A and B are shown apart, each in its own frame.
Chain A
Amino acid sequence: MCKQNTELKVKDILNCYQGKEREIIPILQQIQEELGYLSEEAMLATARFVRVPESKIYATATFYAQFRFKPVGRNHVAVCRGTACHVRGAERILDILERQLGIKEGETSQDLEYTLEAVACIGCCALAPAITINNQEVHGQLTPKKVAELFPAAAKGGN
């Protein structure tokens, strides 16, 4: 995405708001949804728009787990670390995913194909251990075999 295009998009988003402080979180959410992450420029534009110091936007954004400051991979893999998943072996699933995708928790692969994150409970406890891909598809009752089937391209030794 070229820079000019990004700027336009952020501007379009800001135009939907009144510029009040209480709108900071919804604005940042919408920007992230559009761009995939919060760029420095986008946060600066938000700060100017709601007339608060840049540091305040950054302070708010970094407080919440939802916000990211780097581009995210095309496949955003989120491993649930809720209690039910924990007692049914979520740690092992994370281990296997780290090896399978060749990245550590919190990292994005160099080709921007995968981002791997551990997240708070996704509320699918009956399906534990579970992961979500791109916050849409939920895959539950995972076993090492099922994980391997989910990511055939990144299979063992593929990285």
Chain B
Amino acid sequence: MIRILRQIFSTGIVTEDVLGQEEAHIKVVGDRLEEVVKRRFSGSLAIRHVDAGSCNGCELEIHALNNSIYNCERYGIHFTASPRFADMLLVTGPVSRNMEVALRRTYDATPTPKLVVAVGDCGCNGGIFGETYASLGGIDKVIPVDAYISGCPPTPAALFNGILKAIEGK
């Protein structure tokens, strides 16, 4: 136990101002994000992540939003287990044929008003996988999309930006 406490104290707080180092002009994104989430979502934005066929690169970066450095919860953003509680669907990958039905059902299960954000180059337009017998292309081929976050995979900073864009746009 003493080791755990010592480690906790020596680590201190590592949470950073978002994006400061990556894009100077959006140093304020975090604060804006917090402000919009507070105003529009009573301080709590619930996101349901759906992998519609990605290579799992985007998933790694979405995971990173939860680590102590990006710490998305301080802005009132959290990931929920069920689409029933979600305000936003964060969808990755080109939509594979085998996931099409599941994606539609998840979308239908999410209460309106809802936001859909397509993540990654594949989510935006099918990316390298394009449109084939097994891949239907971008997310907007299957469900309506409100915002797009490009990148392969997009960095955690880009994800924050895209989420902000989505909630400011509505």
Same complex for A and B? Answer no
